[in-house]
Amino acid sequence: MKKLWDNKFSIIAAAGIFLGLYMSKGGIATAMMPLLRVLLPIVVVLIVFSLVKKKVSATLGGGLQKKMKAAMEEMQKRQQQQAAGGASQQTIDLCNKCGEYQAPGHVCK
C-alpha cells in the first residue's frame, strides 16, 4: 500500500486521462483506437521476439551447457588420472637459435 501511495501523482494523472477520454465524444473506445493502432503492432512484435529468443536460447543454450559439462568432466578425469598414476609431464626445450633439442650442455653449431 505504501508503494501505491508513493505513486499517487501518477495514479491521479492516469485517472484524469482516463476520465478525459471517457467524457470525450464517442467514448473511450473511439478515443483509444488511434493509440491501439500504434501499440498493437509493437506489442505483437515484442511478444514474437521474446518467444523466438526463448526458443533459440533453449536450443543453443542447452547444447552449450552439455558441451561445457562434458568438457569439465573430461578435465576432472584427466586430473584424477594424473594424480593417481603419478605421470609427470616433461617439457622439451628447444634452442631459440638452432631449433634443436636443448640438452644440458647444449652448444649451437
The mean per-residue pLDDT over the stretch 8-23 comes to 84
CB 21 within 8 A of CB 32: yes
Going from the C-alpha of 84 to that of each of 70, 75, 76, 89, 107, the distances in angstroms are 21, 14, 12, 14, 38
* Rounded percentage of the chain residues whose pLDDT exceeds 70: 82
pLDDT one-digit tens code per residue, 51-71: 998 888 777 766 667 777 888
What number of residues does the chain have? 109
Is the pTM value of this prediction over 0.85?
no
